[in-house]
Amino acid sequence: MGIRVAGVTKAFAGAAALHDIDLAVRPGELLALLGPSGSGKTTLLRIIAGLVEADRGQVFFGGLDATTLPVQKRQVGFVFQHYALFKHMSVADNIAYGLRVRTRASRPSRAEIRRRTSELLDLVQLSGYESRFPSQLSGGQRQRVALARALAVEPRVLLLDEPFGALDAKVRKDLRAWLRDIHERTGKTTVFVTHDQDEALELADRVAVLNQGRLEQVGSPDDVQDHPATPFVMTFLGQAARFPADIRDGRVLVRGKPVPVAASRSQGSPFQLYCRPWHLKPTAPGQGHQTGTISGVRRLGSMRRIEVLRADGAKLEVEVPLATSLRQGEEIGLEIVDGVLFPES
């Protein structure tokens, strides 16, 4: 079932948290809500769940207008940032809670509840832990119980608020793959909130980038990385250097030299050209669009990053092949081979 948010606006005590958000989550999709802390991700997720009321706007689940539906009736699976497991209940009771609170008419039998609980424990790889209490589990295990509890009620959609936020790096990596796997198996439409761009880009089918309560861009990981809609998306998703640029006769110029970037217009200034480390190429000193001295060489996976110190003190990062002959202290030129052009704001 898809989710659609239309014109949602929310302010807390006069301070705007969300401005006129329109977002459509496709059925069965895994969508990441990505943005810096305080950008309104949690608020948007809670509005979808019905935990927070929007000042304006609507929320749809499939064809159903859920705007006025209370949280209990929305049938969303919500996984809270700090798990929010019921401390005084065992793992099994936590998972069965959503089934037990149903009205008698729709409540499954005891045997059925037990069967479903153990099935879910299997799914989250926690069989044998049913009688443990939350305080006896690790962070990763608690997160898995929280997910099982949310799935137990067969929710229309799954909403996760920073699901890996409180876990250490190793557990995070493992859980990412595992969440992807669960998503494929259950096929539930899922929205998860994160401030970690790597997590969003690795895990999600599509990424919605939020900044100061505004939706900057929604697109596939490739889309947002290769065709960022705004300077914010460009800089938030990774390292980017910025160069003042002009357009003359349909060509983009940096320091008067043309760069191989398509111009959006035939004339104008000023513009800003944003370049990733792999958009810059070392050349001979004095050539290219920039010059500087190499102030550092690091290895980054299968590539090497060199840090180039410009005469004005600015530092540029450049990605080069592993087998480079460049050394620290060398003077080099840099050629811009690609980049993303934005009008100066």
Partner 1 sequence: MSDAIAVHLAPPSPSVPVVTERRWVRRLTIAVALAFLFLFVILPLAVVFVEAFRRGWGGYLAALQEADAQAAIRLTLTVAAISVPANVIFGLAASWAIAKFEFKGKSLLITLIDLPFSVSPVVSGLIYLLLFGAQGLWGSWLMAHGVKVAFALPGIVLATIFVTFPFVARQLIPLMQEQGTAEEEAALTLGASGWRTFLTVTLPNIRWGLLYGVLLCNARAMGEFGAVSVVSGHIRGLTNTIPLHVEILYNEYNFVAAFAVASLLACLALLTLALKSVLEWRHGADLAGGAHR
Query: Does residue 42 belong to the site contacting Mg ion (CB under 5 A)?
Result: yes
Nearer to ligand ADP, 37 or 325 (CB): 37
- Rounded Cα distance, 130 and 153, in Å: 18
Query: Does residue 332 belong to the site contacting partner 1 (CB under 8 A)?
Result: no
- For residue 150, how many other CB atoms are within 10 A of its CB? 21
Candidates 49, 145, 157, 340: give the one binding partner 1 (CB under 8 A).
Answer: 49
- Rounded Cα distance, 340 and 321, in Å: 22
Give yes or no for a contact between 209 and 232, defined as CB atoms under 8 angstroms apart: yes
Q: In what order do the strands lie in the sheet with 189-194?
A: 76-79, 157-161, 189-194, 30-34, 206-211, 214-219
Q: How far is the CB of 98 from partner 1 (least distance, A)?
A: 4
Nearer to partner 1, 150 or 241 (CB): 150
Segment holding 298, helix H or strand E: strand 290-300
Binding mask 76-95 for partner 1 (x = CB under 8 A): xxx-x-x-xxxxx-------
- Rounded Cα distance, 247 and 265, in Å: 7
Q: How far is the CB of 42 from Mg ion (least distance, A)?
A: 3
Residues 179-198 that bind partner 1 (CB under 8 A): none
C-beta nearest to Mg ion: residue: 42
Query: Does residue 211 belong to the site contacting ligand ADP (CB under 6 A)?
Result: no
**What does 116 interact with, of Mg ion, partner 1, ligand ADP, none (CB < 5 to 8 A by kind)?**
none
Angle at 94 between CA 135 and CA 80, to 5 degrees: 75
Candidates 113, 150, 275, 334: give the one binding partner 1 (CB under 8 A).
Answer: 150
On the 0-12 / 13-18 / 19+ scale of CB atoms within 10 A, 168 is exposed
Q: How far is the CB of 42 from ligand ADP (least distance, A)?
A: 3
Query: Does residue 298 belong to the site contacting partner 1 (CB under 8 A)?
Result: no
Query: Does residue 12 belong to the site contacting ligand ADP (CB under 6 A)?
Result: yes
Candidates 16, 51, 303, 341: give the one binding partner 1 (CB under 8 A).
Answer: 51
**What does 85 interact with, of partner 1, Mg ion, ligand ADP, none (CB < 5 to 8 A by kind)?**
partner 1
Between helices 139-152 and 169-186, what is the axis angle to 10°?
20
Nearer to partner 1, 126 or 150 (CB): 150
Nearer to partner 1, 95 or 340 (CB): 95
Give me the sign of the Cα torsion angle 49, 178, 139, 237: negative
Query: Does residue 134 belong to the site contacting ligand ADP (CB under 6 A)?
Result: no
Which tokens belong to 318? 């450049």
- For residue 131, how many other CB atoms are within 10 A of its CB? 10
Query: Does residue 43 belong to the site contacting ligand ADP (CB under 6 A)?
Result: yes
- Rounded Cα distance, 227 and 14, in Å: 34
Q: Which stretch binds ligand ADP (CB under 6 A): 38-46, 151-159, 254-262, 328-336?
A: 38-46
SS3 content of the chain, % helix, strand, coil (to 5): 30, 35, 35
Residues near partner 1 (CB under 8 A) are 49-51, 71-78, 80, 82, 84-88, 97-98, 101-102, 149-150, 152-153
Residues near Mg ion (CB under 5 A) are 42
Residues near ligand ADP (CB under 6 A) are 12-13, 17, 35, 37-43
